[in-house]
Amino acid sequence: METSPIPVVTVQTAPFEDQRPGTNGLRRKTAVFEGKKNYLQNYIQSVLSSIDLRDRQGCTMVVGSDGRYFSRAAIEVIVQMAAANGIGRLVIGHSGLLSTPAVSCIIRKIKAIGGIILTASHNPGGPGGDFGIKFNVANGGPSPDTVMEKIYQVSRTLEEYAICPDLRIDLSRLGRQEFDLENKFKPFRVEIVDSVEVYLQMLRNIFDFTAIKSLLTGPDQPKIHIDAMNGVMGPYVRRILCDELGAPANSAVNCVPLEDFGGRPPEPNLTYATSLVESMKGGDFGFGAAFDADGDRYMILGENGFFVNPSDSVAIMGANLSIIPYFRQYGVKGFARSMATSAALDRVAKAMKLALYETPTGWRYFGNLMDSGRCSVCGEESFGTGSDHIREKDGLWSVLVWLSIMAAKKQGVEQIVREHWARFGRNYFCRFDYEGLDPRAAFYLMRDLEAVISDKAFTSQKFAVGDHMYSVEKADNFEYIDPVDGTVARNQGLRIIFNDASRLVFRMSGSGGGMGTTIRIYAESFERDPERHNRETQVVLGPLIAIALKISNIHERTGRRGPNVIT
Per-residue pLDDT tens for 461-479? Answer: 999 998 899 999 999 999 9
Confidence grade of residue 182 (pLDDT, cut at 50, 70, 90): very high
Q: Are residues 364 and 436 in the same domain?
A: no
Q: Are residues 185 and 247 in the same domain?
A: no
- Asked whether residue 341 carries a pLDDT value surpassing 70, the answer given is yes
Set 46, 49, 50, 121: catalytic member: 121
Alpha carbon 502 to its chain's center = 26
Cβ of 157: how many Cβ atoms within 10 Å? Answer: 8
Nearby residues of 101 by Cβ (< 8 Å), 6 or more positions away: 199, 295, 296, 386, 390, 392, 393, 394, 395, 396, 397
* Residue 403 within a domain: yes
What's the mean pLDDT in 173-199?
95
Q: Are residues 216 and 290 in the same domain?
A: yes
The Cα 134–Cα 529 span in angstroms is 44
Q: Are residues 15 and 149 in the same domain?
A: yes
Confidence grade of residue 379 (pLDDT, cut at 50, 70, 90): very high
Q: Which domain holds residue 484?
A: 426-566
Quick check: is 121 catalytic? yes
Q: Are residues 313 and 434 in the same domain?
A: no
Confidence grade of residue 47 (pLDDT, cut at 50, 70, 90): very high
* Residue 338 within a domain: yes
The Cα 130–Cα 137 span in angstroms is 23
* Residue 375 within a domain: yes
Are 99 and 296 in contact by the 8 Å Cβ rule? The answer is yes
Q: E strands within 7-156?
A: 9-12, 26-29, 60-65, 89-97, 114-118, 130-136
- Asked whether residue 1 carries a pLDDT value surpassing 50, the answer given is no
Tell me the pLDDT of the chain averaged across its residues: 96
Which of these three, 163, 194, 225, is where a domain ends? 194
pLDDT in tens, 511-561: 555 568 999 999 999 999 999 999 999 999 999 999 999 999 999 999 999
pLDDT in tens, 127-158: 999 999 999 999 999 999 999 999 999 999 99
Q: Are residues 465 and 415 in the same domain?
A: no
The domain that contains 461 carries what CATH number?
Answer: 3.30.310.50
Handedness of CA 198, 199, 205, 210 (dihedral sign): negative
Are 239 and 294 in contact by the 8 Å Cβ rule? The answer is no
* Residue 2 within a domain: no
- Asked whether residue 92 carries a pLDDT value surpassing 70, the answer given is yes
Are 298 and 398 in contact by the 8 Å Cβ rule? The answer is yes
pLDDT in tens, 195-254: 999 999 999 999 999 999 999 999 989 999 999 999 999 999 999 999 999 999 999 999
* Residue 1 within a domain: no
Which of these three, 153, 168, 194, is where a domain ends? 194
Q: How many domains does the chain have?
A: 3
- pLDDT on residue 377: 98
Which of these three, 143, 172, 194, is where a domain ends? 194
Q: Are residues 118 and 253 in the same domain?
A: no
> Model-level pTM?
0.96
Q: Are residues 226 and 362 in the same domain?
A: yes
Q: Are residues 71 and 145 in the same domain?
A: yes
Question: Considering only CA atoms, which of 394, 368, 195 is closest in space to residue 314?
Answer: 394
Angle, in degrees to the nearest 10, between helices 71-84 and 39-49: 50
- pLDDT on residue 510: 60
The domain that contains 263 carries what CATH number?
Answer: 3.40.120.10
- Asked whether residue 499 carries a pLDDT value surpassing 50, the answer given is yes
- pLDDT on residue 511: 54
